[in-house]
A and B are shown apart, each in its own frame.
Chain A
Amino acid sequence: MVKGPVAHRKKEVHRGDWLFAQFIQAGAMLLIALLLALAWFLIKGGWPAIERYGARFLFSSNWNPVLEVFGAAPVIYGTLVSSAIAIMIAAPLSVSVALFLHAVAPPKIRAVFSFFVDMLAAIPSVVYGLWGIFVLAPWLRSDVEPWLSEHFGFLPFFQGPFYGVGMLAAGLILAIMIIPSIFAMCSEVFRSLPVTYKEAALALGATRWEMMQIAFLRAGKRGIIGGIILGLGRALGETMAVTMLIGNRDEISVSLFSPGQTMASVIANEYAEAGSSIHVAALIEVGLVLFCMTILVNALARIIIRSDDAI
Chain B
Amino acid sequence: MTSIFLLGITLSCSAAFIHGTGASFPFPLYTKWFAEFQKLNPEVKINYQAIGSGGGIRQLLAHTVDFGASDAPMTEEQTLHADILHIPSMVGGVVLTYNLPGIPSGLKLTPDIMADLFLGNMKRWNDPRLHAINPELHLPDLPVTIIHRSNGSGTTLILTEYLAKISCAWKKGVGAGPAVKWPVGLGGKGNESVTSLIKQSPGALGYIELSYAVMNNLTYASLANTENLFIAPTVASIHAAAKASEALMPDDLRLSLTNAPGKDSYPLSAFTYILIYRKMDGAKGQEMLHFFKWAITDGQNFASKLHYSPLPESIAVKTMKALGRVSIVW
Interface positions of A (Cβ within 8 A of B): 41, 45, 62-67, 133-134, 137-138, 141, 161, 163-166, 243-244, 247-250, 259, 261, 265, 268-276, 280, 284
B197 proximal to A (CB < 8 A): yes
B97 proximal to A (CB < 8 A): no
Q: Is the CB of A270 within 8 A of B151?
A: yes
Can you list 26 residue pairs at the A/B interface with Cβ under 8 Å? A41-B3, A63-B181, A64-B181, A65-B152, A65-B177, A65-B180, A66-B176, A66-B180, A133-B196, A141-B201, A163-B186, A163-B201, A164-B200, A244-B189, A248-B150, A249-B186, A268-B189, A269-B189, A271-B55, A272-B151, A273-B52, A273-B53, A274-B54, A275-B152, A276-B77, A280-B58
Q: Is the CB of A274 within 8 A of B152?
A: yes
Known: A65-B178, A66-B174, A265-B150. 7 other contacts (CB 8 A): A62-B181, A163-B201, A165-B186, A244-B189, A269-B151, A269-B179, A274-B54
Q: Contact flags (1/0) for B168-186 with A, using CB distance below 8 Å?
A: 0000001111111110011
Contact of A275 among B1, B153, B177, B187 (CB under 8 A): B177
Q: Is the CB of B178 within 8 A of A273?
A: yes
Closest to B53 in A: A273
B143 proximal to A (CB < 8 A): yes
Cα distance, A165 to B148, chains bound together (Å): 13
Cα distance, A92 to B52, chains bound together (Å): 42
Closest to B202 in A: A141
Task: Determine which residue in B51, B72, B179, B180 has the highest number of CB atoms from chain A within 10 A of its CB, and name it.
Answer: B179
Query: Shortest distance in angstroms between A74's beta carbon and chain B's nearest beta carbon?
Result: 10
Cα distance, A274 to B197, chains bound together (Å): 24
Closest to A284 in B: B1
Contact of A273 among B4, B152, B182 (CB under 8 A): B152
Measured between beta carbons, the chain B residues less than 8 angstroms from A249 are 182, 185-187
Q: Is the CB of A273 within 8 A of B55?
A: yes
Interface positions of B (Cβ within 8 A of A): 1, 3-4, 51-55, 57-58, 72, 75, 77-78, 143, 145, 150-153, 174-182, 185-189, 193, 196-197, 200-201
Cα distance, A277 to B208, chains bound together (Å): 27
Measured between beta carbons, the chain A residues less than 8 angstroms from B177 are 65-66, 275
Q: Is the CB of A45 within 8 A of B151?
A: no
Q: Is the CB of B186 within 8 A of A270?
A: no
> Which 10 A/B pairs are nearest by Cβ-Cβ distance?
A273-B152, A248-B187, A248-B150, A272-B52, A66-B175, A273-B54, A64-B181, A273-B52, A269-B151, A273-B178
Q: Is the CB of B151 within 8 A of A250?
A: no
Closest to A166 in B: B186
A243-B189 contact, Cβ under 8 Å, with A134-B196, A273-B178: yes
Cα distance, A161 to B120, chains bound together (Å): 14
Contact of B55 among A137, A138, A272 (CB under 8 A): A272
Contact of A274 among B179, B185, B188, B196 (CB under 8 A): B179
Q: Is the CB of B188 within 8 A of A270?
A: no
Measured between beta carbons, the chain B residues less than 8 angstroms from A161 are 143, 145
Q: Is the CB of B189 within 8 A of A248?
A: yes
Q: Is the CB of B54 within 8 A of A259?
A: no
A269-B200 contact, Cβ under 8 Å, with A163-B145, A275-B177: no
Q: Is the CB of A248 within 8 A of B181?
A: no
Cα distance, A47 to B186, chains bound together (Å): 31
Query: Shortest distance in angstroms between B191's beta carbon and chain A's nearest beta carbon?
Result: 13
Contact of A65 among B1, B179, B185 (CB under 8 A): B179
Query: Shortest distance in angstroms between B22's beta carbon and chain A's nearest beta carbon?
Result: 10
Cα distance, A118 to B105, chains bound together (Å): 48
Q: Is the CB of B182 within 8 A of A275?
A: no
Cα distance, A145 to B215, chains bound together (Å): 33
Measured between beta carbons, the chain B residues less than 8 angstroms from A276 are 77
Contact of B186 among A62, A248, A250, A265 (CB under 8 A): A248
Contact of B57 among A163, A244, A271, A275 (CB under 8 A): A275
Closest to B78 in A: A275
Query: Shortest distance in angstroms between A43's beta carbon and chain B's nearest beta carbon?
Result: 12
Query: Shortest distance in angstroms between A262's beta carbon and chain B's nearest beta carbon?
Result: 11
Cα distance, A284 to B3, chains bound together (Å): 14
Q: Is the CB of B152 within 8 A of A272?
A: yes
Cα distance, A248 to B146, chains bound together (Å): 12
Q: Is the CB of B152 within 8 A of A137?
A: no
